[in-house]
Amino acid sequence: MSQEALADSAEIHRTQMTGIEWGERLPRIDTLIKLAGGLGISLCELLDGIVWEVRGSRPGRIVETAGGGDE
């Protein structure tokens, strides 16, 4: 699926979709719900394998685990 097709299906602007894909923007929860709907999957499926890694006193970061699944 192209960025433009997904953006249209999810009812978000194409430039917002580009920023999310390139890691320049972090989507809000409502945008994640729209993206999941646009892909025809649940929000849980969309987020499967993504975790928040705590890094001591420094800010955490989002990481993807290999293959997703339960951690």
pLDDT in tens, 9-56: 999 999 999 999 998 998 999 999 999 999 999 999 999 988 877 777
Q: Is the pLDDT of residue 71 over 50?
A: no
pLDDT value at position 50? 86
3-state SS string for the chain: CCHHHHHHHHCCCHHHHHHHHCCCCCCCHHHHHHHHHHHCCCHHHHHCCEEEEEECCEEEEEEECCCCCCC
pLDDT value at position 67? 59
**Domains, the chain:** 3-64 (1.10.260.40)
* pTM value > 0.85: no
